Amino acid sequence: YKLLGATHAIEFSNGNPIRNPTTTNASSKLLSGEVDAALIVGSDPYVHLPRSIVKRLKEIPIIYVGERKTIVAKISEVNIPTAINGIESGGTIFRIDGEEIELIPFIKPPEGIESEDKVLKKILAKL
């Protein structure tokens, strides 16, 4: 949010950030057939999105990074479990309106389970 002034619907396909929520959101991209694989982080679209989008997700490979017990975690081709944000891992999040919220963990995650942030940094380092 601090860099781009937005929390979602940002496209980087040409190397520069573009934001047009009607065309650069995940639902539009999935329905148009532009998406051939999905990296889903900390969300469960099978619970939150319309059936037409879920149907399209079933047609492409999914890599899931996030909490351990979700529908998308169970059906993804690759599932990387992470600590639960705000419970097992801390950090800063931004609400959709840009409000910054500090998360403070109060229990430790299971052995070998890291935060979404650490997992994504490891993936980025390998690209």
pLDDT score of 15 = 83
Nearest alpha-carbon partner for 47 in 70, 23, 14, 69: 70
pLDDT tens column, 64-115:
999 888 899 998 999 999 999 999 999 998 888 889 999 999 999 999 999 9
Q: Where are the domains of the chain?
A: 34-126
pLDDT score of 10 = 84
Q: State the average pLDDT for the chain.
A: 90
Instruction: Report the distance separating Cα 66 and Cα 3, nearest Å.
Output: 23
Q: Which residue has the higher pLDDT, 60 or 14?
A: 60
DSSP line for 61-102:
-EEEEE-SS-HHHHH-SEEEEBPPBTTTB-EEEE-TT--EEE
pLDDT tens column, 19-63:
888 888 888 999 999 999 999 999 898 898 899 999 999 999 999
At 6, give phi and psi (nearest 5°): -150, 155
Indicate if the pLDDT at residue 16 is higher than 80: yes
Nearest alpha-carbon partner for 45 in 25, 59, 28, 27: 27
